[in-house]
Each structure stands twice: as C-alpha cells, then as structure tokens.
Amino acid sequence: MNNLSNITTTTMPATTKVAAMNLSKISARDVQVYYGDKHALKDVNIEIRPRSVTAFIGPSGCGKSTFLRCINRMNDTIASCRVEGNIAIDGEDIYDPKVDPVQLRAKVGMVFQKPNPFPKSIYENVAYGPRIHGLARNKSELDDIVASALQKAGLWNEVKDRLESPGTGLSGGQQQRLCIARAVAVSPEVILMDEPCSALDPIATAKVEELIHEIRENFTIVIVTHSMQQAARVSQRTAMFHLGNLVEENDTDKMFTNPDDQRTQDYIMGRFG
Amino acid sequence: MTVSVAGKAANDIQTKSILAPDARTRRRNAAEARFRLWGKLAVALGVLALVGLLLSILSNGLSSFQQTYIALDVYLDPAKLDKDGNRDPASIAKVSTFGYAPVIEKALSEAIAAKGIVVDGLSIKAAAELISKEAPASLRNFVIANPSKIGETVSFNLLASGRIDGYYKGRVTMESAALDRNTSPEQLRLADKLKEAGLLATRFNWDFFTAPDASDTRPEAAGLGVAILGSAYMMLIVLVLSLPLGVAASIYLEEFAPQNRFTDLVEVNIANLAAVPSIVFGILGLAVFINFAGLPQSAPIVGGLVLTLMTLPTIIIATRAALKAVPPSIRDAALGVGASKMQSIFHHVLPLAMPGILTGTIIGLAQALGETAPLLLIGMVAFVREFPGAPPQGFFDPASALPVQVYNWTQRGDPAFVERASGAIIVLLVFLVLMNLIAIILRRRFERRW
C-alpha cells in the first residue's frame, strides 16, 4: 500500500494519484521465486490493472506460470518453492503471515491448463465453491448462483437440460468453460488462467476467448498463453517473461507492433522460444 | 568416400523386400515367440497347481458336509433321569451323561426288535457303540432344557459314531474294521441293516457349521461353530481398528507430512512391517497384550489386536497407492476454488481413492482371516467348547479361529479329523472368495460413479 503510493507520487502528478490507485489491482514488488536452489523468478515488478485482461507471454520455462501461481499462492503446495518480495491485491500483501491462502483463493480464482472438472455432476461442479464458502442460504439461491455462473461462462444453453449428468462427460471445450463457470461461481475479483486453451481445438478456443472478452468487464483477468495471436486477441496489456525476468510490460497493441525491448521483438518474430 | 558408403547403404535399404523377413527380424520374432511360450507354460503350471490343490481339498473335505444319523424314539424314563421325581432342574442336572447311556441302549434295542432285525454276535452294549459318545450329552442337554418332556417318548436324530459314518463315506471297510479296536465288522453289518430299515441315514451336516469342537474320541460331533464366531469377532475388531487407523495414517503421510528424514524412515519401516513374519506379531501380542496389558488368553480381542497390527501396513500401503493415483489436477481444482486442504482431500481425493482403499482393506482382512501363526502364540489353539458371548463381552471370552481349527484338527489321531480339517479349509476358502467378491463388487460400484 505504502510502496504503491510512494511510487505513484514520485512518478505521477498528485492529481492522478487516485486514478493510478484504480489502475492497479495487483502489484508485485521485487518478487523472487526459488525452487530449491533454482532462482526461477528474478526481481519481478508489475502493476496489473483491474477489469482488464493481462496476458503473460514468453518461451517455456520463463517463469510466467510460476508468477501466475504466486498470485493465488498455489505455489504453497510445492514444498521446495520459496517466494520473496511483495505481492499485493488492493494494497494487501497476500504473503502476510496473517493471510489464509484458502480465503485468498476464494478471491483469486484459477482456471488450469487442462480442463479438470470434478468427477461429479455439472451442477455439483459449479455449486461446490459457493457451498464451501457459504455463499447461498438455501437451495434456490444456490440454483441461481449455478445458473448465473453457467450463463456467464456461456454454457447454460448447452447444459441446462442435463445439469445432473457428469461434468467429465462434456467435450474438452465445454469442460474448460465449466471450469471457468466453477471459478466465476465463487464471485472472485481476479481470475487467473494458465494456458486455458492449450488443450482445446480452434473452435473451442474461439469460444473461450469470446467468453474471456465478455467477462473482463467484471473481473481482473490474468492469462498465461503460448499463442501470441491469442494474447493479441484477448488482452489489453501484455507482459513478456524471459529466463525468469520480466522483460517488458506494455499495452498489447504497442507490444505486438513496436516493442521496447529487443528480446520481445525477437520472440514475437519467432526467433527464439 | 563417406558419401559413397552412405549411398551404398541407401541402395541396400531400397532393394530389401518387406515380403521376406530378414535374419534379424526372424531372430526377433523367434525371441518373442519363445517368451510367449514361457509365459503360457508358467500360467499353465499355476493353473495346474491350483486345480490340484482344489481337487485334493474337495475330494477330502466335501464328505464332511454329510453326516450319518440314527433316528430313535427315546423314552425319557423318569425313574432314571429324574430320580427325585420333582422335575427340579438341579436334581435333573445331577444325572451325568453316563446316566443317559442306558436310556439310549434301551431305545436302540427296542427299535431293533420292532423292525425285526436279527443282531448276531453283538451285545446290546456293543450295538449301542454305533451311536456317538456325543449322543448321551446332547440328550442330556435336551432334557435339562425341556424338563417337562421327561416321561414322554421323543424322536431324536442321534449322531452315528465316527467309524460308522466313515463306513458310509468309504473311509472304513470290513477289512479295516476287523483290525480296529473301535469297531467291528458285526457293527458295520448291523449298521447296514439299520439303514435298510430306514433308521440310519446320511444327511446334510448343519452341525458342522454350528457345533463347537469335540474331543479326540468324538470326531463326528466336531464342528466349526466356535471357530467361525471367533474369526468373525476378530475380523470385526480388525476392520473397526485398522480401516480408520490405516486410512488416517495414509492420508497424513501422503498429503500432510513434510518430506524429511523422519517421514522417510517411517515410510521404509511401514514397508518393512508388511514383510515381517506373522509369528513375530504373535510374540509381540503375547508380550504386550497378554503379559503386559493383562488381556485374557485365547480371546478374540487379543487376536483382533494382533491381526490389526499385521493388517495395518497392508492397508496403509494400498491406501497410499490409491491416494497417489488420484490425479493432482483434482487437488488443484479444489484448491483453486478456495477449498482447504482437508476439504479437497475429503470431498474429492478420498472418494476417488475409495475403490483402491477398499480393495486394499479387504485383501488385508482376507490375509488376517487366514493367519494362523500369531494366533497359536496367544493361546487361540486351546480346545474351546464354550461359545463366546455376545459382543462386546464376548470379545474377551476364549474362542477359536478357522485356520487354527484346521491346524488343530490335522494334529488329531482319528482319520475322521482329516476329513473335518479339509472341510474347514473349504469353509475358509469360501469365506475368502466371498470377501474378494465383495471387494470386486465395491470397486465396481465406486468406479461406476463416472
């Protein structure tokens, strides 16, 4: 919080200070991540804007997924992983010892690379999150949450007649949208997506991208992708990672036409990766 | 130079036909064919051994499910059975089983006379040896339970003696009877006449499952009742203790415990415990549960505790394997929507691991059911005729166990016990097959939930 205001005051006129606050939902300061002895992320500093899509690109092993998983502390599940520095959401340090990662993850939802619906019914998949967080007082409220989450995920018309059939019986693209509905149902503020379309065909990919486009009004979305075209299509801001460093972070339009950093230029042109 | 060599090789490849296999391919195929043959031979050998085992057990043991009985109308003579004449249970109980022998003798001689059977060369006492020594005892039990029947004539199916029973099962012949102190050809001939007259018959032997063990001279009366009950009690104790303990330990070790030297040590030792000879657990049980904790000998509670210790490693190893097999993406998914670690395990991981856990548990139980050695050390080999009481008190009463009963009977002198032992093995195998069947059914049911 203090860090952030210091920076905004030093770099911007005082009149835009409030606007700058609003410009940043997630702010990372000097983030270092180690897997055992391996230094996986070095000095990452980034401001992620609310109600927009930020794409992380970069070659495999560059640390973009690692950084994504830092934002909802999924890295806690890896015993050898150590995170240093400061990551704040709305100015609150998420690595503060007082923070319960379970509460954090209700606020920061996640969609994974491979669609991973629970081996339960479609309804149960979406209802699980609201249920464990006590978001519904009764069955009809739960029904409403499930329906609206499925509608937001653009899946409602396809599954409304078979809510009790298994979620794992859907096609890959439908499963991934079900996973998005599952994340949305908990009413998170941030949704992290780790290569959500890498296991999908182009048509399912298009649907998921369309969906991301629609829900960005309500959420802060961070998406890791290997597809430059996808980053260009869905995101407003793009961050390029390379060898554990955040190379460049810029407006997507600028990033893909006139990047500041030579490495970004090379990667986008396909010279390495 | 190199170019020309490469060109030559390329030519060779082009000229080779795939219609005729080359030497290398032929060798490769021959090796595979040999390997398959070895596999088939190994399977055939296994099947042969299994068939041989089953045939030998069935041929020896199936006859134990049949038993020869002699039907007699017995007059319960008040002059002999209730000398005081007041139907007082205490005074009736004063008459020992010896007092009942003459009553049976009399009933037999009357029945022989009534059917017009000629008995040659046998005193009535010798003729009465056709009937088991167990018969007076069962008659006495009946009278003590029903004092009002004294003075009436009641129909009984009395056990024929082991030799007579063996005669109808082919174990005893006229020749062997001539050399046998316990029977004679005359007795066998009398048995044949009784059978013709419809007094003697061979029927299904329910007593084999319900009666307790019997002494060396009464193999015909020996049954598995106490052993089945004792085994059932022990399995109950093992299930109730080892399933929650084993599953809880596995979940902790697999999901929560940090990876360090200590947990590595625990892991290695669990694997070692699974391989510890079962008799060692028996010594442990004797030292800890009986000598130190002061629990009674021969009791199902001690047997159950020892078998629990033995089963735990099996269950833990199976459960951990089942938990490991649950894809991590399911855990991620649960954590991703904000479930706590425990919620993710109990709501998602455990239900998916359930088929594996149940299979492991039932395999462990089946192992425990067939275990003999540790039970010998804690005194379950004792001769027990009294049924243990109802649980939980019954857990502390002396009992036997199925495999120990088999062991016990094979030690006895009378050849009739060999048949009983084989019969008990069949019962044990049927229980094992049933348990495996339950494991398969449970696994199917849980797996079918998509």
Q: Do B336 and A183 touch (CB under 8 A)?
A: yes
Q: In whole angstroms, how far apart are CA A153 and each of A139, A183, B16?
A: 21, 10, 59
Does A110 reach chain B within 8 Å, measured CB to CB? yes
What residues are paired with B156 via a beta bridge?
Answer: B72
A80 in contact with chain B, both atoms CB, cutoff 8 A = no
Residues in B closer than 8 angstroms to A128, CB to CB, are 334, 337, 339, 347
Strand, coil or helix: what is A189? coil
Chain A residues touching residue B337 (CB < 8 angstroms) = 105-106, 109, 128-129, 132, 182-183, 185-186
B330: chain A residues, CB-CB within 8 Å: 116, 118-119
The per-residue pLDDT for B8 is 52
The C-alpha atoms of residue B156 and residue A36 are separated, in whole angstroms, by 83
- Per-residue model confidence as pLDDT tens digits over A128-152: 999 999 888 899 999 999 999 999 8
Of B337, B347, B449, which is closest to A186 when you measure between CB atoms? B337
For the domain made up of B225-447, give the CATH fold: MetI-like fold (1.10.3720)
- Interchain contact A114–B (C-beta under 8 A): yes
Query: Under a CB-based contact definition with an 8 Å cutoff, are residues A71 and A79 in contact?
Result: no
B-chain CB neighbours of A184 within 8 Å are: none
Q: Which residues of B touch A107 (CB under 8 A)?
A: 338
Q: Can you tell me the distance from the alpha carbon of B343 to that of B321, in angstroms, rounded to the nearest whole number?
A: 20
Residue whose pair of structure tokens reads 């395999």 in the numeric block: B363
Class of domain A2-268: alpha beta
Mean pLDDT value across chain B: 88
Most A CBs within 10 Å, among B263, B337, B343, to test the A interface: B337
Give pTM, 2 decimals: 0.81
Judge whether A213 and A180 are in contact, CB under 8 Å: no
CA separation for the pair A250, B317 (Å, rounded)? 52
Does A102 contact B258 at a Cβ distance shorter than 8 Å?
A: no
Q: Give Dmax (Cα) for chain A.
A: 57
CA-based nearest residue in chain A for residue B349: A118
Residue B107: count of CB within 10 angstroms of its CB: 24
CA distance B361 to B347: 20
Are A116 and B333 an interchain contact pair (Cβ–Cβ within 8 Å)? yes
Residue spans per domain, chain A: 2-268
> What pLDDT is stored for residue A185 in this prediction?
92
- Residue B431 — very low, low, confident or very high, per pLDDT cuts 50/70/90? very high
Whether pLDDT at B338 is above 50: yes
Tell me the chain B residues in contact with residue A102 when contact means C-beta distances shorter than 8 Å: 338-340
Nearest to B352 by CA among B378, B324, B372: B324
Enter the ipTM: 0.84
Tell me the mean pLDDT in the region B307-335. Answer: 93
The pair of three-digit structure tokens given for residue B392, joined into one six-digit string: 């939980």
Which whole number is the average pLDDT over A101-112? 91
Is residue B93 predicted with pLDDT exceeding 90?
A: no
Domain-by-domain residue ranges, chain B?
66-204, 225-447
Position B448 scores a pLDDT of 58
- Stretch 212-271 of chain A: residues touching chain B, C-beta under 8 Å: none
**Which of B155-159, B293-297, B308-312 tops mean pLDDT?**
B308-312
The answer to whether A27 touches A249, Cβ cutoff 8 Å, is: no
What pLDDT does A9 receive? 39
What is the average pLDDT score of chain A? 87
- Compute the average pLDDT of residues B282-287: 92
